Structure 1
Amino acid sequence: MNLEEVLNFRRSVRRYDKNKPIDPEKVKHCLELATLAPNSSNMQLWEFYQITNPGLMAKVSEACLGQSAASTASEIVVFVTRQDLYKKRAKFVLDFEEGNIRRNSPKERQEKRIRDRKLYYGKLMPFIYARFFGLLGFFRVILARTISLFRPMMLEVSECDMRVTVNKSCALAAQTFMIAMANEGYDTCPLEGFDSRRMKKLLKLPHGAGINMVIPCGIRDGNKGIWGERGRVPFDEIYHRI
């Protein structure tokens, strides 16, 4: 399939054929492709949990409020946000960038670029992603709004804003995964209806982790899992060329 065919094939499938298993290695490869998704400052504050154990899948299905997409799935993938790993991921990106600059930048510009990356990932990212009962976020908002009086400045820097940023990046990875799965002829259904507390307990996640999306996977059971035609708001109503 070409890209247009893949996008038309992908539907939110809510019932899967249990007699048609999917290949766990292909699902894993689709998750590898998901890591190529764009994400804010390349911080990659995500984790992917591919669930194939039948016992655990049953418990996850229960945590998904018993939805048929989860209860009939061959596998379930949980996309997890890990804002709590911001220091570790910032260090990883900084270490990578230092080598990347030395390998690919003109020698006369390398030292400045490395200094810039050290400032960005060594100081700014830890400051932006840090959390402390909302107080750090409040301070960042005041600082950003003050700076914006004199020059353009990103204003969405509260602790709530950064949580949104992390979830947006993770959602891009989830969408990339679903497109990759469609290219394999596999079906998915992104779920936001679940008990996040129970889900975190099942996956043994720390307090600082969050559940972004739960995606049951399988092969559609004929037309039983697709609720009729795909409905979209008329394009002219949402498209603006200025």
Structure 2
Amino acid sequence: MDFSAVIEARRSVRKFNQDSEFDHHKVQRAIDLALLSPNSSNMQLWEFHRVIDPQKRKLLAHFCMGQNAATTARELVVITITPQKWKERAKRNAQVVRDNFQSQSPQRAARAFQYYEKLIPFLYRNDRFGIFGRLRQILCFFLGLKKPIVRQVSKADLRVCLHKTAGIAAMTFMAAMKDQGYDTCPMEGFDSKRVKKLLGLAKQTEICMVIGCGEGVPEGTYAPRDRVPNQEVVFTH
């Protein structure tokens, strides 16, 4: 199936076949591809939790408000963001730059070191009501008077950024599943507190979405696809 066919064929399917064979290895393959998705500063602050065990899957479906896409799923994938891991990822990225670019391009390596060892800590330690938040707001105001500057760098902005990153990975995952002949349904309706407890997630970890996986049945697609006219959402400048 070519890319355009995959995208056109992918639908949010809310009911899955309970009798057909299901290859869990294909879920892992789709996750492997999702991990290649672009992400902010290559920080990779995401996790993919595969729920295969029947009892845990049943509990998770219950915590997803008993949605058909959860109760009939052959496997559930929970995609999360992990902002608390920013230090180790920044350190890792800086080391990768050292290993790959130090001998080839010292100037490029120096810029990358500065980014991961100075700017990233400054941004990720930012707190709207703390010293880093106030300092950032002041610097942003004065520097922005003379030149363009990134302004969406509050703690809330970074949280949005990580969820966007996880959303890109989720779309890659769902497209990869469709390419292998399986359907998916992303879900936002869930009890995050109970889901985090079920999966043993850290306090700072946030759930982006839960994705039901399986072979869709005809009645699992509730209606023909409907989109607003392109001219309402696409603009040329």
Q: Where does residue 234 of structure 2 map in the other structure?
A: 239
Q: How far did 1:133 drift?
A: 6.9
Q: Is the 8 A contact 2:127 2:154 kept in 1?
A: no
Deviations 1:86-122 (A, max 9, x none): 001111111112222147x3xxxx2222221111101
CA distance in 2, matches of 1:58, 1:116: 49
Q: Is the 8 A contact 2:73 2:212 kept in 1?
A: yes
User: TM-score w.r.t. structure 1 length?
Assistant: 0.93
Q: Where does residue 191 of structure 1 map in the other structure?
A: 187
User: TM-score w.r.t. structure 2 length?
Assistant: 0.95
User: Which of 209, 214, 218 is equivalent to 2:214?
Assistant: 218
Deviations 1:111-155 (A, max 9, x none): 222221111101111111125574233442332222111211000
Structure 2: which 5+ runs fail to align?
A: none
Q: Is the 8 A contact 2:16 2:220 kept in 1?
A: yes
User: Which of 148, 162, 166 is equivalent to 1:166?
Assistant: 162
CA distance in 2, matches of 1:3, 1:102: 37
Aligned CA-pair RMSD: 1.4
User: Which of 106, 120, 123 is equivalent to 1:128?
Assistant: 123
CA distance in 2, matches of 1:216, 1:129: 32
Structure 1: which 5+ runs fail to align?
A: none
The correspondence of residues 95-110 of structure 1 with structure 2, limited to 5 A, is: 95-102=95-102, 105=104, 110=105
The correspondence of residues 19-168 of structure 1 with structure 2, limited to 5 A, is: 19-102=19-102, 105=104, 110-132=105-127, 134-135=129-130, 136-168=132-164
Q: Relative to structure 2, which stretch is displaced further, 137-146 or 2-11?
A: 137-146
Q: Is the 8 A contact 1:20 1:219 kept in 2?
A: yes
Opposite residue 43 of structure 1, the aligned amino acid is M
Aligned length: 236
Change (3 A) 1:89 1:187: same
Opposite residue 31 of structure 2, the aligned amino acid is L
